[in-house]
Structure 1
Amino acid sequence: MKHPLKGIVFDMDNTILRSRIDFQAMKNATYQFLVSKEILSDGYDLSYHTTSTIVEEAIQTNRMSEELRNDMWDIAKKHEVCGMKGADLEPGAVEVLSKLKGRYQLAIVTNNSVEAAGIALRDNDISEYFDFIIGRELIKALKPSPDGYLRVLDEFKHSANEWLSVGDSWIDGKASISAGIRFIAYRSDKEKLKQMKVCPTGEVSNLLELMSLIEQFEEGPAIR
């Protein structure tokens, strides 16, 4: 059964905005903080982790006080706010958003804080394009958990097969697919996607290529 497309979920960093966040430094600082507080053990192979997966492992220990959680998130927020200052838009972002606005519901799901996301989107004059912006304060678990995407579906009362998502990272794809939403990979690391068993519905190297993929989705039962 064919379902008309109702909405599109975008990741923010390196999908809509060309992020200057030093994700490696943020991950290392978060991990070292958690080791220093004896929440996680030393010796993790961080190449298999993102900040969000490190955080999730820490939370799962059930040893995190509210004060420790706040201190942990302050590390991430410092890197996010700093890295988003002066962040440029990805090429074609405004053109694509202008074409999509009004035709579809548009949402952002980001592991960033709501504050950092809001500042970056306002500074680039694109916040008005989005109907719903979800940062980490609004979800129970970060990507690669599907919580943020499920929150979008609940907000708009649509089914998962009426939405597409776009993102650059395997965690975007994992979260989207786990929520039942088809995933479009944007300038993604194909080997990393394969390693993490993420199979995108489509791939684009330029945001403007999204329009033809969306047209294919509207015209046929599936994008190949």
Structure 2
Amino acid sequence: MDITTILFDLDGTLIDTNELIIASFQHTLSQHADREYSREEILNFIGPPLKDSFELVNPNEVDAMFTTYREHNLANHDDYVVIYPTVADTLKELKEKGLQLGIVTTKINATAWKGLKLTGIDSYFDVLIGLDDVQHAKPHPEPIVKALAKLGASASQTIMVGDNYHDVEAGKNAGTKTAGVAWAVKGRASLEAYKPDFMLEEMKDLLQIVGA
């Protein structure tokens, strides 16, 4: 397979931010929601843009919730965030093989770069498309289309890798190949239902897929 470009989701795919996200939601909901939310309910908020989730909880306090969440998330970021196994070595090898690498995330850009720098993988990426760059977040194809345009890459020679159905759907909508990750916090079955082209047991499986 002639793959030249790989686009990655960030949270839950390259770096483990799940417990940070859950803790930030718990903190925010305790202040702004009218009831308690279970861990299972909060898991459903992982993936979409924050404001979409906050709209479902309390549409009158979306901006206040965003501020509360961001303050907690940034204050605790470095205590929680770690890189998943084999990610750094895989990215290094992919770059050495000449592949273009990009990030397509529903995070705002500054927070995304913070996680990349903390885990020491920021230098591997040629482009980052975050929430600041688009009108429509994943699963809309716009973020992937923008990343491909910046890279001068072809969708048919690209794989979109992610831990959420939004990533698989966005890739399909943009015409790329897609890969789910078996370590997704919602479980591999949640991704398999959307029929990605590949399922990665660990990140280094990408090397075999692209023939590196």
Mapped partners of 2:31, 2:141: distance in 1: 26
Q: Which residue of 2 aligns with 1:16?
A: 14
State TM-score, norm by structure 1. Answer: 0.73
2:210 equivalent to 1:214: yes
What amino acid maps onto 2:129 in structure 1?
I
**Letter of the structure 2 residue corresponding to residue 73 of structure 1:** F
Structure with higher Rg: it is 1
- Judging changes above 3 Å, is the alpha-carbon distance between structure 1 residues 201 and 74 closer, same or farther for their aligned structure 2 residues? same
Opposite residue 159 of structure 2, the aligned amino acid is L
Q: CA deviation at 1:147?
A: 2.2
Aligned-pair identity in percent equals: 21
Residue 39 of structure 1 aligns with which residue? none
TM-fit CA distance, 1:206: 0.9
Q: 1:76 to 1:142 in 2, by over 3 A?
A: farther
SS of equivalent to 1:207: coil
Give the CA RMSD over aligned residues. 3.2
Between the aligned partners of 1:146 and 1:32, the Cα distance in structure 2 is 34
1:58 Cα shift?
7.4
In the alignment, which residue of structure 2 is the partner of 1:97? Answer: 91
How many angstroms apart in 1 are the aligned matches of 2:72 and 2:18? 9
Letter in 1 for 2:9: D
Counterpart of 1:116?
Answer: 111
Large movers: runs of 4+ above 3 Å: 20-36, 45-49, 53-59, 68-73
1:13 partner letter? D
Distance in structure 1 (CA, Å) of the matches to 2:17 and 2:42:
20
Residue 161 of structure 2: SS of its match in structure 1? strand
1:213 Cα deviation (Å)? Answer: 1.4
Partner of 2:144: helix, strand, or coil? helix
Displacement of 1:117: 1.2
Which of 3, 6, 17 is matched with 1:5 structurally? 3
Query: 1:170 — aligned with what?
Result: 165
With the length of structure 2 as denominator, give the TM-score of the two structures: 0.77
Aligned CA distance change for structure 1 residues 19 and 57 (closer, same or farther; 3 Å): closer
Partner-residue secondary structure (3-state), 1:101: helix
Asked whether the equivalents of residues 149 and 175 of structure 1 are also in contact (C-alpha less than 8 Å), the reply is yes
User: Following the alignment from structure 1 to structure 2, what is the Cα–Cα distance between the partners of residues 47 and 114?
Assistant: 23
